[in-house]
């Protein structure tokens, strides 16, 4: 490089990310295409009381191509728009396929799995630590109860007994927990 040209380090450019919403129907059809399964069939109906319901029928396995009466069939919840009900039915079909160990994987999938694993590990750690702390607290409460009981019994039979020494002992036992 010539001496008169300076190369400056590039700072990251903070560009707004554009969110791209892919419909459940689009994702389901892409999944079935990738699995070489017949395209799912959709049926949408407008309800008399208002709203729409969709049904998606599909074959979840290549080895299971039976007559249409035996294919999987899933219904959407009632939606205000027909397109929404269609996508809800498709999303339910995707979840069904997920339970059949056929999972849609996008570029965020490994990160999502890592987050799930970290979350599960964190929950186990918190439960373990909470359980351990609770056991220590129970032991301390039993010890405190025992010391107080001993002090009261001693005070009952010993005239002029000073409760101060028992309270000091309780204080020492509980400060060890901190």
Q: Which two tokens stand for residue 54?
A: 């969709």
Q: Phi-psi region for residue 53, left (φ > 0), alpha (ψ -120 to 50) or beta?
A: beta
Q: Which of 41-45, 56-60, 100-104 has the highest mean pLDDT?
A: 41-45
- Rounded Cα distance, 17 and 100, in Å: 33
- The conformation of residue 35, written as its DSSP 8-state character, comes to T
Helix (H, G, I), strand (E, B) or coil at 81: coil
Tens-digit pLDDT profile for residues 126-164: 888 887 777 877 777 777 777 777 766 665 555 555 666
Phi/psi for 64 (5° steps) reads -120, 35
Structure tokens at 112: 């999502």
Confidence of residue 105 (pLDDT cuts 50, 70, 90): low
Quickly list DSSP for 119-151: HHHHHHHHHHHHHHHHHHHHHHHHHHHHHHHHH
Q: Across-strand partners of 79? A: 52
- Cβ neighbours for 177, distance < 8 A, ≥ 6 positions apart: 136, 137, 140
How far does Cα 129 stand from its chain's mean position? 21
pLDDT digit string, tens, across residues 76-91: 999 999 999 999 999 9
Averaged pLDDT for residues 48-62: 90
* Residues 29/1, Cβ–Cβ less than 8 Å: no
């Amino acid at each position: 490089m010539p001496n008169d040209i300076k190369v400056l380090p590039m700072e990251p450019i903070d560009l707004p990310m554009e969110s791209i919403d892919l419909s459940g129907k689009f994702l389901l059809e892409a999944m079935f295409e990738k699995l070489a399964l017949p395209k799912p069939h959709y049926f949408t109906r407008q309800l008399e009381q208002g709203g729409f319901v969709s049904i998606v029928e599909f074959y979840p396995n290549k080895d299971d191509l039976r007559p249409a009466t035996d294919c999987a069939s899933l219904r959407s919840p009632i939606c205000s728009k027909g397109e929404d009900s269609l996508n809800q039915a498709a999303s339910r079909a995707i979840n069904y396929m997920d339970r059949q160990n056929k999972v849609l994987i996008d570029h965020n999938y490994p990160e999502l799995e890592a987050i799930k694993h970290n979350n599960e590990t964190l929950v186990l750690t918190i439960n373990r630590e909470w359980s351990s702390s609770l056991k220590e607290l129970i032991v301390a409460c039993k010890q405190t109860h025992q010391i107080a009981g001993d002090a009261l019994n001693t005070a009952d039979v010993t005239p002029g007994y000073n409760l101060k020494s028992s309270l000091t002992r309780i204080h020492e036992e509980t400060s060890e927990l901190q």
